Amino acid sequence: MLMALYKNLTAASAPLLEVYLNRREKRGKEDPARKNERRGNPSKPREAGPLVWLHAASVGEAQSLLALVKKLLEDYPRLRIMVTTGTVTSAKLMADRLPQGAFHQYIPADHPKWVAGFLDHWKPDLALWSESEFWPNMLAGIKKRGIPAVLLNARMSEKSFRRWSFLRGTIGELLSVFSLCLAQNDAEAARLKALGAQNVRISGNLKYAAAALPCDEGKRAELEAAFSGRPRVLWASTHPGEEELALQLHTTLRKINTELLTIIVPRHPARGTEIASLAENLGLGAVRRSQRRLPRPQDDIYVADTLGELGLFYKLCPLCIMGGSFVAVGGHNIIEPAQFGCRVFYGPHMFNFKTVCHDFESRNAALPCADADALGAALERALDDPAAFDAMGAAAQAWTAGQAHVVDETLGALAPYLKNFALALDLKNLSPTSGEKSA
């Protein structure tokens, strides 16, 4: 009943959706050159042959699929792969990092007519949906057309589980679209099964299998020279409220180490001017990377307000504070800095990465900090004795390196769906190599 109500309401909402998308476009959150894709009008022709469609909500989820896309194309070099996302940032990432044979499209807004236009144009042979973004009209369209669908890297947080528990019929109908659910861990699998998911297995977290973020060695050498050996602290993917904390801690820590450089990489680069102004209002010297400037010896704060350079700064900075964790955002992906051996610190709000944090904490591979005082004490120790957290960085890097098998396990679980492509294209038939287990 709720699904029917949702469909009717969204069918009547096209004018409101247009206003919403136009406002997002004015704020830089929609791509004006590809606006028709969000309205169910694809910008590319549908080529002949099998098409595998992978969907991810935004940057983090999309990045976790890259290793899987690469392996699929290695095993099926004539297969076509489409990756959809819903954000401009993720589209730019896909443009830079998708291999040949794969392409990106924006997911249409969840209007019945736009969804139908998208599905009827692309006619995917297999839909691989990532994590926990459930758009009712899109999923209903997939089911109506008989498109085989698998939920990859499936996640159901405790908070989401409690909410969906009041709508078990609705979530059960949505989950019924997927003939296979590959959960990240036992806890997620149990919650998915309790909500009605069928054929649930555990395959691990694909985020662990993602390749390390790219690092331009020329830029790294240039920055290393500009840093001149200064001790540095990186704040990665920060949100409003966290930059103030970073600046306050810098002021305190600078009294202990006068050469300290604090690097702030905001989650949204457009906030660079705002962050630099905050620093200057506190009497701190700040320069912005988007202005093609390098930090001088007298500068305190380097605002890296650019896209696609986190890998560069992870490689340059042994001490990393993960943004989104000192405000109630839910944190960001600590696997990425861990792949570079960073000593990773985070605050009390990592609720979107609870299982990952548990993995790291149980191996002494990251340090949770209850508040700003705890973080300040940890950073003071790290700056006073740079070797104090070496073991933590090494443990983080070793743990992430040991999880690359997740891609093979996922492909093994997908083998029954993919074997028909091997026959159709006369390609290598992928045999199950997974160690996945039934939940």
Residues whose CB is less than 8 angstroms from the CB of residue 303 and which lie 6 or more positions away in sequence, other chains included:
264, 266, 272, 275, 276, 279, 286, 287, 288, 289, 290
Q: How far apart are CA 350 and CA 292, in angstroms?
A: 33
* Torsion angle of the four alpha carbons 130, 315, 394, 376, in this order, in degrees rounded to the nearest 10: -90
Contact (CB, 8 A) for 318 and 332: no
Residue whose structure tokens are 């990092």: 97
Q: Whole-angstrom Cα distance, residue 246 to residue 242?
A: 6
Instruction: Return phi, psi of residue 240, to 5°.
Output: -50, 135
Distance of CA 149 to the CA centre of its chain: 21
How far is 184 from 189, CA to CA, in rounded Å?
7
Query: Catalytic site residue 380?
Result: no
Q: Compute the distance between CA of residue 382 and CA of residue 42 in angstroms, rounded to an integer.
A: 51
Active-site hit among 30, 61, 131, 243: 61
**Number of Cβ atoms within 10 Å of the Cβ of 273:** 13
Taking a C-beta distance cutoff of 8 angstroms, is the pair 236, 320 a contact? yes
Neighbouring CB atoms inside 10 A of 306's CB total: 17
Kindly list the catalytic residues.
61
